[in-house]
Chain A
Amino acid sequence: MGDKETEGGATREEIVQRVELMESMIAEGRRFTMRCGWIFVLWGVVDLAAMSWRYYQPNSLWVGEWAWPICLAAGVVLTFLGRALQGRQQGCSKGLRWRSVEAVWGMMGITLAIYITGAMVRHLTWQYSYIAALLIIIGMAHGISAVILRWRVQGVVAAIWWGGGIAAFCVRSNGGVERIMFLEMVFGMILFGLYAVVLERMGRGRANENV
């Protein structure tokens, strides 16, 4: 782009040029905005990995005590790494909405870390109410995020998590809880994350819309 600015009468070529310039710059700007769909996919995969580990390796030395902590720690590390890479590539662009959503999910992460650690230390993770509370807290984060972003799809996802929480209170077997968890991970995390990724690639990510 030249250093000298010209203003004045607009020819057809000039107008077309301006339109093309706007289109390319808007596309650049969209590429720059923050993307978060991949985080849902990552956490869905991490949680499914932990569940599979427990399910397929019931006699492994690591089962029970370490499958979840190791997978969750890996999830945290990968999330931070991904965000750091994203930040380096994209510079900084955080609207009020994005910052609000980030705060909700950040605080939810800390809440769950405290909750899960406490339950593990006290060996209470076998309780159905522990799973139910876990699902309801995640549903709450989705719900708040849906209100901030005015995003009905995420509202539906929040309802799926809350529904899972209620179902976890009602089941009477470990198999039932595992099925609920599996469905939540697939529908509430992976599929929702993929949907968000597709929207973001189309330049329609909700967190980047303006306040």
Chain B
Amino acid sequence: MRWFWSGWAAGEPMKTSDQLPELDPVIHGKLRLALLSLLLAANEADFTWLRKKTGASDGNVSVQMVKLEEAGYVAMEKRFVGRKPQTLYRITPRGRKALAKYVDALRILLGKAL
């Protein structure tokens, strides 16, 4: 039972040695993964730049950023540059951790698939 309690206590999905790791559904979405990866490298970026780099629509980027924000993976800051409003996004330590975990899971899955 120890595996059960240790996993449960850490808030992680239950898994045995035979089970494949679960991919975080918040990160696994293509656009959300792209946005989070961009923020991982850039640390901080504004909405327009993120939209331009992903090639997605305003609405879609906005919706996906809200999901990432709700999960606590990104933080948003609204400010003015001159008279222009600017929405700035920053990856949080939780988002960083979640992405690292997601990469580990991908690595394991890829290892199993090969």
Asked whether, in the complex, the Cβ of B46 is within 8 Å of the Cβ of A208, the reply is no
Q: Beta-carbon contacts of A17-48 to B below 8 Å, as 1s and 0s? A: 01101100111111011000000000000000
B68 to chain A, nearest CB (A): 12
Tally chain B residues at the interface, Cβ within 8 Å. Answer: 37
With A7-B25, A92-B45 as known contacts, state yes or no: A29 contacts B37, CB within 8 Å: yes
For chain A, the bracket of interface size reads: 20 to 34
Which one, B30, B39, B41, contacts A21 given CB within 8 A? B30
Chain A CB within 8 A of B8 CB: no
Asked whether, in the complex, the Cβ of A3 is within 8 Å of the Cβ of B28, the reply is no
Asked whether, in the complex, the Cβ of B44 is within 8 Å of the Cβ of A10, the reply is no
With A15-B110, A92-B88 as known contacts, state yes or no: A22 contacts B37, CB within 8 Å: yes
- Grouping DSSP codes into helix (H, G, I), strand (E, B) and loop, the B interface class, with mixed when no group exceeds half, is helix
Asked whether, in the complex, the Cβ of A12 is within 8 Å of the Cβ of B106, the reply is no
Q: Which residue of A lies closest to B90 (CB)?
A: A95
Asked whether, in the complex, the Cβ of A29 is within 8 Å of the Cβ of B41, the reply is yes
Cβ–Cβ < 8 Å partners of B41 in chain A: 25-30, 32-33, 203
Could you name 11 residue pairs across A and B whose Cβ atoms are closer than 8 Å? A3-B57, A5-B30, A7-B25, A18-B28, A22-B33, A25-B37, A25-B38, A26-B37, A29-B45, A92-B46, A210-B43
7 new A-B pairs (CB below 8 Å) besides A1-B55, A33-B42, A93-B43?
A5-B32, A10-B23, A22-B34, A25-B54, A29-B39, A91-B49, A210-B96
* A interface, CB within 8 angstroms of B: 1-3, 5-7, 10, 12, 15-16, 18-19, 21-22, 25-30, 32-33, 91-95, 203, 208, 210
